[in-house]
Structure 1
Amino acid sequence: MEQLHDTFAIEIAEYEEWQHRSRKNNFFELVYILDGNGFHSVNYVDYPYEENGIFLLPTAKCHQYIIKKPTKFLFVRFTGSYFVSSTNHVDYSCWFSRLNFIMGNHNHLSGELIGDPDDRKQLKRLLDIILYEYNRKDICSSFIIQNTLVSVLAVICRNIQQREWNERTFNDEKFVDLLNFISFNILAPEKLSVKFLANKFHLSETYFSEYFRRNASERFQDYVLKSKLRIAQSRAKFTDSPIQEIALELGFTDSSHLNRMMKSRFGKGMREIRKEMQK
């Protein structure tokens, strides 16, 4: 049985044999293994799973589970079509940015979503709260699930973020904070202007571009564009969102503008990238 909400859907299902899932207008599903074992398979690379495993399942058909022992799954499906102002005190603009960050920075390989053991324990606690409220189904359950999912996304982002920065060394802690801020506000152009960022991080506007280039070894504008294109590439591969919708959400004029930028960086347009994943 599935519990639906504008911004998420939760389902518990038990399979003896994996079934491809029809899921529209969503980014990905978070998969929590309640019981059973087998293999999580991505592009024919298999990774063992067991009880309490936590995985990411994008919409693309390249992901599946090879079930050895009948398995009970908890699916948490995040959607991207209903991020509007709410009276429920959940910041959906923040939620939406984190979904995009995960899509653009997660490697989408087979295996556990969270590498850090402490983060894995924390995520399990949060998913147990969601499971409890799913089964309880009282008047407050949906609200509690909503707010718990905000924390779920934050833990996932932190883990991906730490993995990404551990591969790079920065001497300036302020610069790391600046990169993090850009990553989590990539859909908010008013927060990505030189004037706004210079003021927020106590830098001179005239010095900002030089400061960024010196620390990142690339221009600020190029870094922002690269970040957006990485998200666009991932959404072309792993979601069925319309290309025009992706383009507008990421701040491009239209799908043609996005395609030109994608071809200049990756040598392929959005439709070509999407078709490769559908073969």
Structure 2
Amino acid sequence: MNRYTLNETFVVHRYAIDEWEAEPHNHNYFEIIFIEKGSGYHTINDIRFPYKENNIFLLAPEDTHHFEIEKRTNFTYFKFTELLFSSKVNLPDRKYWLQRIEQLLHQPNIIPGDVISHEEDRSIIWDIHNVVLEEFKNEKVYYQEIISNAISTILSIIVRNISEKYNSHQKNILVSHNKIDSILSHIRQHVYDNDLTKINFLANKFNMSQSSISTYFKRKTGESIHQYVTKYKMKLVEYRLQHTEFTIAEIAYQLGYTDESHLTKTFKKHFSMSPKQYRNEMSIS
């Protein structure tokens, strides 16, 4: 089973092999990898760990990986792009899902490995996996919407498990851990809410004065907090202009700009063209 469908935004790939011949590589799409049978080692972003039956892995486009197979392994791959959740498919919460996708896209695997911490969640995902296989194979009425919503559910469960694992991991880090990483992570996670990225909020959250956090941030990144937030927002705007059908006004609202003209003015400063001109150029190329 290996064909593209849903306007080439989703593919299922299943196979069983004794030896992994591909070189370490990455892709321009997301992958959920299910281990149906077998064992060996999986390396993601130069971190090597054992894998076994029923493991589930999530790879973002910037992740590099390869397998070392010890026991013949049955793989199922769900490969997809963010267009699976575009406005072409009836997914009511696609704006909020896009936020999750962007966080994964711009933060490649923080804690690589099997992504599930709770076995009850693992069972749910495997059940949904079976539904997706049937829908993809049979293409019955509404199968596109069913697959889109199924993948959204799988990824929401995965993101929940990754978040819990990450938070647990953070608790074990020494107090001397580089604080700038925590500040940057907070900004990326809450960039959609202006109040949560203001200097006074960050200062209170990280137990620093406003002047000291501003100086610390500038020293560590070479940019002011405002410059970093704006640049990160521009990256998200660029991504949404390229990969979604949201209007410029909708993108402005989603990212906390007062109106479309405010976003357009800021975008022009960074790209020397308006968001509309940028989208038109991308569609031509």
**TM > 0.5 fold call:** yes
Query: In structure 1, which of residues 28, 32, 35 is the aligned counterpart of residue 34 of structure 2?
Result: 32
Q: Which amino acid aligns with 1:40?
A: H
**Contact kept? 1:104, 1:227, Cα under 8 Å:** no
Moved more, 60-69 or 154-163: 60-69
Q: Quote how far apart the aligned CAs of 1:245 are.
A: 5.2
Q: Quote how far apart the aligned CAs of 1:147 are.
A: 0.7
Aligned to 1:193: 194
Moved more, 49-58 or 110-119: 110-119
CA-to-partner distance for each residue in 1:69-113, whole Å, 9 max, x for gaps?
A: 332211111313576423523433323221122234553555212
C-alpha distance in structure 1 between counterparts of 2:231 and 2:119, whole Å: 30
Aligned positions, number: 221
Is the aligned partner of 1:2 residue 2:2?
A: yes
Aligned to 1:74: 76
Q: Quote how far apart the aligned CAs of 1:215 are.
A: 1.6
Aligned to 2:225: 222
Structure 2, unaligned runs of 5 or more = 173-183, 208-212, 218-223, 243-254, 256-262, 272-285
Aligned to 2:90: 88
Q: Which amino acid aligns with 1:165?
A: N
Q: Which amino acid aligns with 1:54?
A: I
C-alpha distance in structure 1 between counterparts of 2:122 and 2:145, whole Å: 23
Instruction: Describe how 1:48-197 pairs up with structure 2 within 5 A.
Output: 48-59=50-61, 62-80=64-82, 84-86=86-88, 88-105=90-107, 107=109, 110-166=112-168, 167=170, 186=191, 191-194=192-195
Normalized against structure 2, the TM-score is what? 0.58
C-alpha distance in structure 1 between counterparts of 2:107 and 2:143, whole Å: 31
SS of the aligned residue for 1:2 comes to coil
SS of the aligned residue for 1:115 comes to coil
Structure 1, unaligned runs of 5 or more = 170-178, 199-207, 236-243, 258-279
C-alpha distance in structure 1 between counterparts of 2:132 and 2:204, whole Å: 44
Normalized against structure 1, the TM-score is what? 0.59
CA-to-partner distance for each residue in 1:144-183, whole Å, 9 max, x for gaps?
A: 11111111121122122223334259xxxxxxxxx99976
Q: Which amino acid aligns with 1:222?
A: I
Distance change in 2, residues 1:185/1:43 (3 Å): closer
Distance change in 2, residues 1:159/1:87 (3 Å): closer
**Contact kept? 1:182, 1:192, Cα under 8 Å:** no
RCO higher in structure (CA 8 A, sep ≥6): 1
**Contact kept? 1:33, 1:51, Cα under 8 Å:** yes
**Contact kept? 2:33, 2:78, Cα under 8 Å:** yes
C-alpha distance in structure 2 between counterparts of 1:10 and 1:45, whole Å: 26
Distance change in 2, residues 1:45/1:227 (3 Å): farther
Distance change in 2, residues 1:83/1:140 (3 Å): closer
Q: Quote how far apart the aligned CAs of 1:43 are.
A: 5.1
Moved more, 114-123 or 72-81: 114-123
**Contact kept? 1:105, 1:160, Cα under 8 Å:** no
C-alpha distance in structure 2 between counterparts of 1:61 and 1:107, whole Å: 7
RMSD (CA atoms): 4.5
CA-to-partner distance for each residue in 1:105-150, whole Å, 9 max, x for gaps?
A: 5535552122333433333333233233334432333321111111
Q: Quote how far apart the aligned CAs of 1:192 are.
A: 2.8
Distance change in 2, residues 1:224/1:100 (3 Å): farther
Distance change in 2, residues 1:34/1:228 (3 Å): farther
